[in-house]
Amino acid sequence: MSGKGLRIVVLIKQVPDIEKVRFDVETGRIDRSSAPAETNPFDLHALEAAVQLKEKLGGSITVISMGPRQAESSLRDALARGADRAILLTDKRLAGADTIATSRALAAAIRKLGGFDLILCGEKTVDGDTGQVGPEVAEVLDIPHVAYVCEIREVTDDKITVVSDMGDKYLYEVKLPALLTVTRELNTPRLPTLRDVLKARKKQIEIWDADALAQYEDPDRFGIKGSKTIVMKVVIPGVEHRKGIIFRGEDAAEKLLEVLKEGGFVKP
Amino acid sequence: MTSGILVYAETSDSRIHPVSFELLGKAREIAEKLGLEVWSVIIGFDVKDRAKELIYYGADKVYVYDSEHLKDFNVLTYKDILVDLVKEIDPEIFLIGATPLGRSLAPRVAAALDTGLTADCTDLRVDEEGNLIQIRPAFTGNILAHIKTTSKPIMSTIRYKVMPMPKRDESRKGEIVIKNPPEKIDTRIKSLGRISKRTVNIADAEVIVSGGRGLKNKEDLKMLEELAKLLGGVLGVSRPLVDEGWIAKEHQVGFSGNTVKPKLYIACGISGSPQHLAGMRDSQIIVAINIDPSAPIFRHADYGVVGDLYEVVPKLISMIKRIKGVSGS
Ligand SMILES: Cc1cc2nc3c(=O)[nH]c(=O)nc-3n(C[C@H](O)[C@H](O)[C@H](O)COP(=O)(O)OP(=O)(O)OC[C@H]3O[C@@H](n4cnc5c(N)ncnc54)[C@H](O)[C@@H]3O)c2cc1C
Ligand SMILES: Nc1ncnc2c1ncn2[C@@H]1O[C@H](COP(=O)(O)O)[C@@H](O)[C@H]1O
């Protein structure tokens, strides 16, 4: 930690509201435009953790997102929730990135910031759903990481102590700078007040393109060009072939019992 | 020299995680198709003797890193070992279990090797041209993506319990290669040990009876637990019950909880949100008990009871008790 408190970076992604997004079973198309966009729910826990740490220790919070221009609204919301600075990485050359190409762009942006002590990510996104970007950013930056952090115990000048939920729970002490991916159990994100929202409206969101990152990473390693995995096709499982036998009325429980007996689940 | 498919054998307390054996089975199948060998790597303390188990389950060669200072998982040290090994033996494919440990470790290894990594796969296939196709759910389980990797090694993490467990064959022969463990561990991360052990392992259960917001009180979970016990199973829940503080997260089924694949899943008072379905849609038999005939869960159920769980469940319990000859009903 420098004299200015903890310099925190939070990585947030804008995702479609999964409850509303439509999937075309026939063509395998995902109609992202069918659903309103929101900040990846897990990332709000990362941001809340940052705000709590800043309240306790002082410092600054920078949020970074890579995505299309409309992701500005998620960054604006992050400013209302307590971030000091917001940066959007947006460029055609960044689009179509898999996790490794995404991580290289995010890591380049973090390098460009100058110094940092702690990077916070969500445990995974609801669309990509890989949980890979956090650990990959840490590797590109050559800093330690802990995944599935459900509790932050202590932060000192050069160390952070956290609990990682890997089924069993483990305690880790990690040297700063470090990256954490956090679970929902870590905290309950607060809603911004109206005043916060109004104040955030006046703040500037910085827009960086691939050229802005070129000093820190070869732009050929961004976007589709830098990706090593290709989605060949997408299959949308129709409703599975389930029997769909419905029991109603007085003797429904009896009928269900018959099913359980036939399946060998009820043994005398 | 024949190249190979490398399988990471995950250990805790010197025991091998069963997902590693499942991966060896799948690796064997793909290796036959592509003319490759199956290799495995095991890292930990007191794991030397376990290496032959990996051969019994399908490995041709096992690389062993055994040392007291490798006892606790250190993502940086483990990563360094794996990166060096991959550079030395140059496998075509590298498979890691999609456990919390695997999902923390694999991306670091992939980034260090600058290769593609496909997360949380549920199937692997070989297409007509001999390409490995990795199949994985995305969009909270709403889609299945078929993914090809253009770099080497092709890396994927694979979910537990989606591949069949291969037969253990003690007559299988293979080579065990003892490697020199690194002299020091990376001190930027210090493991201060396990602070709590999970009490239920819902991912391994064969029968799960789950409750959702259709339950009115915390105490009513006891009723579902009783039904679960009578069926030889364990209690599961939807997320809101964990959020309410009614029960530990270990019991939560779904996108931000556990993925389960029991023989029988009974959902009581659960609507069937995409996030819940993501964790249980691959169960063998799905039963839903719900008062609302239009609840989405019925579209994913083999058997549904449209009715009040407070009537159906107690009735089931007493009938099963009668069959089992349990008194007190
Ligand atoms: C990022 C994210 C991750 C999430 N992860 C998970 C997850 O891992 N697991 C999970 O479960 N959810 C998860 N959720 C939450 C999910 O979206 C749903 O809110 C949740 O699954 C709903 O739980 P439920 O079905 O119990 O409740 P509800 O949707 O409220 O359904 C209750 C059901 O009970 C029925 N009912 C009511 N009374 C009775 C009665 N007397 N008898 C019979 N039936 C009755 C009702 O008809 C209704 O269908 C996640 C959400 C987000 C945004
Ligand atoms: N495009 C992105 N911009 C900023 N952060 C991201 C982006 N993609 C992923 N992340 C971060 O990485 C975490 C894991 O994402 P994923 O690997 O896609 O599941 C997210 O919760 C975010 O914190």
Q: With H, G, I as helix, E, B as strand and everything else as coil, classify residue A34.
A: helix
Within 8 A of A267 by CB-CB distance, chain B residues are 324
Give a yes or no: residue A102 inside a domain: yes
Which of A19, A23, A229 minimises the CB distance to B118?
A229
Question: Residue A119 is part of a domain; what is its CATH number?
Answer: 3.40.50.620
B165 plus B24 within the same structural domain: yes
Ligand 2 centroid to B311 CA: how many Å? 45
- pLDDT for A254 equals 96
C-alpha torsion sign, points B172, B156, A236, B292: positive
| Cβ-Cβ contacts under 8 Å, B264 against chain A | 260, 263, 265
Q: Say whether both B76 and B173 belong to one domain.
A: yes
Domain presence at residue B40: yes
Residues from chain A that touch B107, judged by Cβ atoms under 8 A, are: 99, 130-136, 139
Q: Name residues whose C-beta falls within 8 Å of residue A21's C-beta, 6 or more positions apart in sequence.
A: A30, A31, A32, A34, A35, B139, B142
The Cα B236–Cα B124 span in angstroms is 29
CA B307 to the chain's CA centroid: 33
Instruction: Please count the structural domains in chain A.
Output: 1
CA A185 – CA A149 distance, rounded (Å): 9
At residue B76, the 3 state secondary structure works out as: helix
Inside any domain, residue B60 = yes
Between the CA of B246 and the centroid of ligand 1 the distance, in Å, is 14
User: Nearest ligand to the C-alpha of residue B304?
Assistant: 1
Q: Is residue A154 part of a domain?
A: yes
For residue A257, tell me if it sits in a domain.
no
In a domain, A50, yes or no: yes
Query: Going by CA atoms, what residue is nearest to atom 30 of ligand 1?
Result: B213
CATH number at residue B225: 3.40.50.1220
A-contacting residues of B 98-117, CB under 8 Å? 99-101, 103-108, 110-112, 114-117
DSSP 8-state code for residue B190: E
**In angstroms, what CA-CA distances link B155 with A76, A229, B94, B102?**
36, 10, 5, 12
Question: What are the structure tokens assigned to A148, written together?
Answer: 């599935």
Distances A37 to A47, A52, A72, A73, A193 between C-alpha atoms, Å: 18, 26, 11, 9, 21
Q: What is the pLDDT of residue A3?
A: 66
Residue B196 within any structural domain of the chain: no
Same domain flag for B132 and B218: no
User: Domain limits at A91?
Assistant: 6-221
For residue A190, tell me if it sits in a domain.
Answer: yes
Q: What is the pLDDT along chain A (268 residues), one digit of tens a residue?
A: 556 799 999 999 999 999 899 988 888 888 888 899 999 999 999 999 999 999 999 999 999 999 999 999 999 999 999 999 999 999 999 999 999 999 999 999 999 999 999 999 999 999 999 999 999 999 999 999 999 999 999 999 899 999 999 999 999 999 999 999 999 999 999 999 999 999 999 999 999 999 999 999 999 999 999 999 999 999 988 767 898 999 999 899 999 999 999 999 998 7
How many contacts (CB atoms, under 8 Å) link A and B? 254
The whole-angstrom separation of Cα B44 and Cα B53 is 15
ipTM of the complex: 0.95
Q: pLDDT, tens digit, for every residue of A151-210?
A: 999 999 899 999 999 999 999 999 999 999 999 999 999 999 999 999 999 999 999 999
Q: For the domain that residue B32 is a member of, what is the CATH number? A: 3.40.50.620
Question: Encoding tokens for residue B173?
Answer: 């022969």
Whether B140 and B226 map to the same domain: the answer is no
Residue A234 lies inside a defined structural domain of this protein: no
Strands A14-16 and A37-39: antiparallel
The tens place of each residue's pLDDT in chain B, 329 residues long, gives 789 999 999 998 889 999 999 999 999 999 999 999 999 999 999 999 999 999 999 999 999 999 999 999 999 999 999 999 999 999 999 999 999 999 999 999 999 999 999 999 999 999 999 999 999 999 999 999 999 999 999 999 999 999 999 999 999 999 999 999 998 899 999 999 999 999 899 999 999 999 999 999 999 999 999 999 999 999 999 999 999 999 999 999 999 999 999 999 999 999 999 999 999 999 999 999 999 999 999 999 999 999 999 999 999 999 999 998 876 54
Note whether B32 and B167 are same-domain residues: yes
Is residue B9 located within the same domain as residue B112?
yes
Q: Where are the alpha helices (DSSP H) in chain B?
A: 18-34, 51-56, 75-89, 100-113, 221-230, 239-243, 274-280, 309-324
Q: Which residue out of B237, B244, B270, B315 has the highest number of ligand 1 atoms within 8 Å of its CB and is therefore the one to mutate?
A: B270
Indicate the number of domains in chain B: 2
CA of B211 to the centre of ligand 1 (A): 9
List Cβ neighbours of B294 (8 Å cut-off, separation of 6 or more).
none
The pLDDT of residue A239 is: 67
Put simply, the answer to whether B300 touches A18 (Cβ < 8 Å) is no
Can you name the residues that pair with A6 across neighbouring β-strands? A59
Residue B328: per-residue pLDDT: 52
- Please tell me what DSSP assigns to residue A188: -
B158 with B63, same domain: the answer is yes
Which residue type sits at B10? E
Residue B117 with chain A: CB contacts under 8 Å: 99-100, 132, 229
Domain assignment present for A226: no
Q: Which of B127, B145, B178 is the endpoint of a domain?
A: B178
- What is the span of the domain harbouring residue B124? 4-178
CA of B17 relative to ligand 2 center, distance in Å: 28
Q: Is B252 in the pocket of ligand 1 (CB under 6 A)?
A: yes
Cβ within 8 Å, pair A129-B137: yes
Closest by CA to B151, choosing from B99, B101, B86, is B86
Q: Are residues B250 and B314 in the same domain?
A: yes
3-state secondary structure of B264: strand
Rounded to whole angstroms, the Cα distance separating A136 from B109 reads 8
